[in-house]
């Protein structure tokens, strides 16, 4: 990497520094409690993984450029400038050892949103070219092909074809005026087709109109994970254009954590205007159906099961009660993990970690946190609501030779829907 | 300079200068933060940012149980230090007299026996904080020279105050002069170290809480 790219990186980090960031740095007392909230520190014991240390280059830029004292130190040659070497050294801390899970932000005694700052510092690292190959590839595919896993429209159409053939249900493409526009994550298209089937079943029972946009079926936003706002905005814009063209009322973010954060919270800020439609996570929509009596289920899962909260849903999204209410409709032996809801532990693969092969080793180490939670509970089934969590959990369980099925909540609910045809017949 | 003259200077112009630097320095630091501004959140909210901000300023004072369980000593010691320091600073009779002359406000004092015990407790908690800083791998790793400076300038006023009150080590007048000088050192240094957190903690909690309140999430 050449020096100019480092300059660009510093410039991008500088642009991320606002009053909240400055208040966080000037409030930090180096107490180190954020480390106790971090699964990457907890499972490795390496103090470099202390969350606040991951944004140290940003702190130095802030101090040297935005404080009088720091500027005096810089002038006197007493300040350590951020260099190429720092970018090299911090890249794995910023990307491989952080899933942007947000747990550190919740425990900081002075209230610093540390994970928010790690999201911000990634802007500088990606601009300088210090980002993992895996994430660069995913982001390039997202821009060029429309999906980080390279999924194209024909793959979605093929899935819809299978759906029609197997169940007789339809997943309407580009239907104008539909109430809901459903987004999918690549992972669901490739690995978990049961999600689409579940949505089709539930929408039919609820009597709701819905559609998938051929121009914007993908919910995953690699731009957010790698930290390139331009790309993130472009990916959001595709969804906004499709939703507005089709005139839908609500866009449904799929069982994916960061996709929800990307479209629900970052989306309007990325494109610089509020949306003309609502954005909801599938669990929010399902819980509304439940409240309105549109979700009629039958029978209970008797297996002992627990729910893995996707970080982005609980800590960044506030979707906490909905999965519990929904689970209690269909499960008679639902138990909670020791740290759950807003204090859940990450699956270890969020924030782009799972797309970054280089991080595999540390990811599996960090997974031991989830493993210890599961060992304690001894459940028969693990339910979650994020395709990325699901694949990460499945890989982790396999790595540690644990035999535990992982199920999506939407799919579990769909399995218990009352079959109205049967009832009438 | 005699001890009496030094004490007179420390009580008079020295104190006023130190206080002036403290106030201006802190205002500068707050200005440096606030002047950076922030963009409005364009995402449709679920709740009140203001309520969230105010709530978080209060609620973040208590630790999350699961983190407390991991680091009880460090967290309890933090409370002991902060509570001890504040009670000694604001509820020792002669301190209240000083506030009365400077601010015109007065309030009841704690008995000197209690203050004396609190001062000992505060000094002990600072010693423990230093021990933890030197031994805990994370805290040691994070520590900078600024952390040790902040520790020292916080310790000195409590220590010299205790020694002066109990007429230990040095004659009272000398120790009292040292006590005042150490307070002035603390005031002058505070705006340029992490001691800015005495004010900026509220801003940091406010900003995180504001976003959380707007989005309807916990903070």
What does A230-280 look like in DSSP terms, one character per residue? Answer: HHHHHHHHHHHHHHHHHT-SEEEE-S-HHHHIIIIIIHHHHHTS--SSEEE
Instruction: Output the pLDDT for position A190.
Output: 87
Is residue A337 situated within a structural domain?
Answer: yes
Do A115 and A175 have their domain in common?
no
Q: Is residue A12 part of a domain?
A: yes
In a domain? residue B51: no
Q: Which of A24, A36, A71 to mutate against chain B (most B CBs within 10 Å)? A: A36
Per-residue pLDDT at A352: 95
- Residue A4's pLDDT is 60
Asked if residue A420 belongs to a domain, the reply is no
The verdict on A159 and A284 lying in the same domain is yes
User: What pLDDT sits at residue A382?
Assistant: 98
Q: Which of A36, A53, A111 sits opposite B205 (nearest CB)?
A: A111
Question: Cβ–Cβ of B37/A19 closer than 8 Å?
Answer: yes
Question: What span, in angstroms and rounded, lies between the C-alpha atoms of B140 and A177?
Answer: 60
Query: Domain with A181 in it: what CATH number?
Result: 1.20.1050
> What's the CA gap between A148 and A220, in Å, rounded?
7
Token reading at A135 = 């994430």
Last residue of a domain, one of A268, A291, A314: A291
d(CA B183, CA B15): 8
**Domain edge (last residue) among A98, A131, A164:** A131
> Quick one: pLDDT at residue A3?
52
Predicted confidence at residue B71, as pLDDT, reads 95
Whether residue A16 contacts residue A94, with contact meaning beta carbons closer than 8 Å, is answered with no
- Mutant choice from A17, A18, A23 vs B, greatest count of B C-beta within 10 A: A23
Q: Which domain holds residue A341?
A: 305-415
Measure Cα distances from B102 to A305, A379, B92, B106, B158 in Å. Answer: 64, 65, 16, 10, 21
Interchain CB contact of A41 with B (< 8 Å): yes
Q: Does B112 score more than 50 pLDDT?
A: yes
Tell me which chain B residues have a C-beta less than 8 angstroms from the C-beta of A28.
Answer: 194, 197
CA–CA dist A43, A38 (Å, integer): 9
Distance of alpha carbon A211 from alpha carbon A173, whole angstroms: 5
B-facing residues of A in 249-268 (CB < 8 A) are 264-268
- CATH classification at residue B151: 1.20.950.20
Question: Tokens 């954590």 map to which residue?
Answer: A257
| CB spacing of A318 vs B32 below 8 angstroms | no
Instruction: Please indicate, yes or no, if residue A425 is contained in any of the structural domains.
Output: no
DSSP bridge pairs for A305 = A334, A381
Q: Any chain A CB within 8 A of the CB of B95?
A: no
| Residue B192, domain member (yes or no) | yes
Residue B208 near residue A113 (C-beta atoms within 8 A): yes
| CB atoms B138 and A47 under 8 Å | yes
- Three-state secondary-structure class, residue A68: helix
Position A281 in a domain: yes
Residue B41 lies in a domain: no
Residues A154 and A264 in one domain: yes
Give mean pLDDT, residues B20-36: 97
CB pairs A-B closer than 8 Å: 174
Per the structure, how many domains does chain A have?
A: 3
Give the model's pLDDT for residue B102: 86
Q: How confident is the model at residue B41 (pLDDT cuts 50, 70, 90)?
A: very high
Same domain, A200 and A116: no
For tokens 């007493």, what's the residue? A78
Is A335 within a domain? yes
Instruction: Judge residue A403's burial from the number of C-beta atoms within 10 Å of its C-beta, 0-12 exposed, 13-18 middle, 19 or more buried.
Output: exposed
Q: What is the mean pLDDT of chain B?
A: 96
Please name the member of B56, B137, B207 whose beta carbon is closest to the beta carbon of A23. B207
User: Which of B21, B30, B42, B78 is the best substitution to test chain A (most A C-beta atoms within 10 A)?
Assistant: B42
Are B146 and B130 within 8 A, CB to CB? no
Quick one: what percent of chain B has pLDDT higher than 70?
Answer: 100
A154 and A281 both lie in a single domain: yes
pLDDT for position A424: 47
Token duo for residue A377: 């509970």
CATH number at residue A322: 3.40.50
What share of chain A has pLDDT > 70, as a percent?
Answer: 98
Does residue B50 lie within any of the structural domains?
no
Say yes or no for a CB contact (<8 Å) between B207 and A111: yes
Decide if B64 and A112 are in contact by the 8 Å CB cutoff. Answer: no
Q: What is the CATH number of the domain that holds A88?
A: 1.10.1060
- B71 chain-A contacts, CB cut-off 8 A: 33, 36
Cβ of A47 within 8 Å of Cβ of B141? The answer is yes
With 90 as the cut, is the pLDDT of residue B111 above it?
yes
pLDDT at position B197 is 98
Q: Which of B142, B150, B191 to mutate to test the interface with A (most CBs of A within 10 A)?
A: B142
Residues of chain A below pLDDT 70: 1-4, 421-425
| Residue A422, pLDDT score | 56
Do residues A179 and A99 both lie within one domain? Answer: no
Buried b (16+ CB within 10 A) or exposed e, B29-52: bbebbeebeeeebbbeeeeebeeb
**Same domain membership, residue A151 and residue A108:** no
The answer, for B82 touching chain A at a CB cutoff of 8 Å, is no
Q: Does B144 touch chain A (CB under 8 A)?
A: yes
Q: Is residue A228 part of a domain?
A: yes
Across A107-116, A144-153, B108-117, B125-134, least confident range = A144-153
Q: Looking at the structure, do residues A287 and A150 belong to the same domain, yes or no?
A: yes
Q: Domain tally for chain B?
A: 1
- pLDDT score for A32: 97
Same domain, A167 and A227: yes
Q: Are the C-beta atoms of B28 and A68 separated by less than 8 Å? A: yes
Query: Which residue on chain A is closest to B69 by alpha carbon?
Result: A36
Question: Are residues A124 and A150 both part of a single domain?
Answer: no
How do beta strands A381-384 and A406-408 pair?
A: parallel
* Domain extent for B156: 3-35+60-215
Non-local (6+) Cβ contacts of B133 within 8 A are: B139, B140, B143, B147, B148, B151
Spatial CA neighbour of A236 closest among A274, A208, A206, A210 = A274
Whether A111 sits inside 8 A of B37 (CB atoms) is no
Residues A37, B29: C-beta atoms closer than 8 Å: no
Q: What is the pLDDT of residue A357?
A: 95
Asked which of A237, A257, A291 is the last residue of a domain, the reply is: A291
Residue A101 resides in a domain = yes
Determine the distance in angstroms separating the CA of A424 from the nearest CA of chain B, rounded to an integer.
41
């Amino acid at each position: 990497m050449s020096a100019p790219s480092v300059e660009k990186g510093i410039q991008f980090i500088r642009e991320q520094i606002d009053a909240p960031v400055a208040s966080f740095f000037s409030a930090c007392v180096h107490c180190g409690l954020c480390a106790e909230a971090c699964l990457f520190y907890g499972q490795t014991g390496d103090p470099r993984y202390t969350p606040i240390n991951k944004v140290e280059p940003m702190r130095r830029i802030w101090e040297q450029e935005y404080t009088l004292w720091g500027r005096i130190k810089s002038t006197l040659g007493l300040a350590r400038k951020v260099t190429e070497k720092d970018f090299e050294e911090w890249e794995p801390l910023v990307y491989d050892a952080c899933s942007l899970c947000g747990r550190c932000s919740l425990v900081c005694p002075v209230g610093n949103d540390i994970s928010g700052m790690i999201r911000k510092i990634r802007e500088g690292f990606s601009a300088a070219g210090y980002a993992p190959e895996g994430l660069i590839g995913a982001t390039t595919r997202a821009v060029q092909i429309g999906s980080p896993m390279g999924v194209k429209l024909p793959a979605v159409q093929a899935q819809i074809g299978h759906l029609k053939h197997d169940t007789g249900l339809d997943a309407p493409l580009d239907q104008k005026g539909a109430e809901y526009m459903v987004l999918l994550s690549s992972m669901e298209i490739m690995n978990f087709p049961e999600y689409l089937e579940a949505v089709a079943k539930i929408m039919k029972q609820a009597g709701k109109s819905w559609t998938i946009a051929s121009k914007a079926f993908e919910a995953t936003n690699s731009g957010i994970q790698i930290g390139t706002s331009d790309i993130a905005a472009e990916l959001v814009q595709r969804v906004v254009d499709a939703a507005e063209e089709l005139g839908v009322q609500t866009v449904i973010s799929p069982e994916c954590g960061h996709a929800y954060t990307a479209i629900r919270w970052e989306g309007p800020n990325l494109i610089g205007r509020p949306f003309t439609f609502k954005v909801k996570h599938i669990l929010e929509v399902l819980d509304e159906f439940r409240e309105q009596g549109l979700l009629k289920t039958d029978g209970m899962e008797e297996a002992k099961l627990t729910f893995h909260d996707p970080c982005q849903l609980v800590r960044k999204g506030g979707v906490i009660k909905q999965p519990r209410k929904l689970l209690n409709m269909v499960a008679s032996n639902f138990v909670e993990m020791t740290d759950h809801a807003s204090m859940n532990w990450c699956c270890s693969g969020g924030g782009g970690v799972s797309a970054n092969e280089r991080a595999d080793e540390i990811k599996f180490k960090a997974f031991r946190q989830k493993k210890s939670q599961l060992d304690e509970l001894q459940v028969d089934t693990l339910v979650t609501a994020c395709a990325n969590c699901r694949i990460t959990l499945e890989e982790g369980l396999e790595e540690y030779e644990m035999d535990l099925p992982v199920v999506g909540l939407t799919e579990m609910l769909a399995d218990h829907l009352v079959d109205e045809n049967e009832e009438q017949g | 300079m005699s001890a009496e003259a030094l004490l007179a200077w420390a009580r008079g112009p020295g104190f006023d200068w130190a206080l002036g630097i403290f106030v201006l320095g802190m205002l500068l630091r707050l200005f440096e933060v606030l002047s950076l501004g922030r963009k409005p959140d364009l995402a449709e909210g679920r709740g009140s940012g203001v309520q969230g901000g105010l709530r978080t300023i209060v609620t973040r004072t208590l630790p999350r149980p699961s983190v407390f369980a991991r680091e009880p000593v460090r967290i309890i010691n933090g409370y002991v230090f902060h509570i001890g320091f504040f009670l000694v600073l604001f509820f020792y009779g002669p301190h209240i007299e000083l506030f009365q002359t400077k601010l015109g406000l007065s309030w009841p004092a704690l008995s000197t026996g209690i203050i004396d015990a609190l001062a000992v407790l505060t000094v002990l908690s600072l010693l423990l904080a230093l021990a933890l800083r030197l031994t805990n791998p994370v805290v040691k790793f994070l520590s900078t020279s600024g952390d040790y400076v902040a520790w020292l300038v916080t310790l000195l006023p409590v220590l010299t105050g205790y020694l002066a009150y109990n007429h230990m080590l040095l004659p009272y007048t000398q120790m009292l002069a040292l006590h005042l000088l150490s307070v002035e050192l603390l005031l002058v240094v505070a705006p340029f170290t992490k001691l800015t957190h005495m004010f900026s903690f509220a801003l940091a909690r406010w900003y995180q809480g504001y976003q959380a309140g707007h989005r309807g999430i916990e903070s």
